[in-house]
Amino acid sequence: MDVENYKIERGNNSTEYFLNIADFIIKIFFENKNISNIDLLPSLDIFRTDNNKNCNLLFDLSVIELLPDISFSYKHIGTFDTGNGDTIIYAYTNGDYKFVIKDIDGNISCELLTNAIFSKCLCRLNRDVKIKRFGLNNALMMAFAFAGSLKKTLLIHASSIHKDGYGYAFIAKSGTGKSTHTGLWIKNISHCDLLNDDNPIIRFINNVPYLYGSPWSGKTPCYRNIKTKLGAITRIERAETNYIKKLKPTDAFASILPCCSTMKWDKNIYNAICNNVIKVIEKVNVYTLYCLPNKNAAFICHNQISRQKI
């Protein structure tokens, strides 16, 4: 038995939903809607669609009560601290993966089985509603990041602004002040609004990079199903004076890659992510803004990066 060939049994209590995220269709199946259903994640509401033709299907995720036993040997890849809890990863010899997702208190919230390209996922949620919500949210986010990477798409850790038909993504180490800076744009620069505060999506369509909202926005509930051209990416660093510098391609790559979910042990997915980052650098300028958390920093940044159009 493997993930790809596992047959889902449908019953009277089963139900399915379709989402449109970054113009991809995602199918979520719940084996028993009385135990787990789409209401776990209100952040998905605006992304729901009636499309049930599997057109442009990125992946399907089935929430079931009992995961199948994969009939292949496996190895432990590692245990990774996500900042919100540990994720334990196992790789099967046929290419399938198993993720054990724990919350900050060490509770196992979700066990996720996927095929090698993350187009089919099987998920078991555990414990109470809060813990199930955490597990399902993380399972969807990981599946999207890795399935999307093979479709010229990046899920990037950033706070992002929408202004005058373009999207601007701001990246930084946690705690540096991405959200503070985008807040300064919104407060002091006209015609700005928040696109997403934690995990916007970059997707290439016809060789043009677009920035999308997503259902994953960290502590700020900014769930917007919108699309705009990507204008620039700016890395925020704290300094005693405000100034901005355009990065060379090598420095731009080194700045963006750590902001993407990666699997270095999986050459297919890792190479796809690296190639996507390179494509971004070829199409838009990447900067470092050295700044104080004040409105002058927003003005300096805006005056530089908003001049650059695709």
Q: Which domains does the chain have, with CATH numbers?
A: 15-151 (no CATH), 154-305 (3.40.50)
Cβ atoms 220, 157 nearer than 8 A: no
CA Rg value for the chain: 20
Predicted confidence (pLDDT) at residue 308 exceeds the cutoff of 60: no
First to last CA, the chain: 48
Nearest to 112 by CA among 148, 60, 157, 160: 60
Q: Is the pTM of this model over 0.85?
A: yes
Amino acid (one-letter) located at 4:
E
Largest CA distance in the chain: 63
**∠ at Cα 220 (214, 226), nearest 5°?**
30
What is the reported pLDDT for 310? 35
- For residues 258-296, b (16+ Cβ closer than 10 Å) or e, as one string? ebbbbbeebeebbebbeebbebbbeebbbbbbbbeeeee
Q: pLDDT tens digits for 261-307?
A: 899 999 999 999 999 999 999 999 999 999 999 999 999 999 999 95
Q: pLDDT tens digits for 41-88?
A: 999 999 999 876 667 899 999 999 999 999 999 999 999 999 899 999
Cβ atoms 125, 137 nearer than 8 A: no
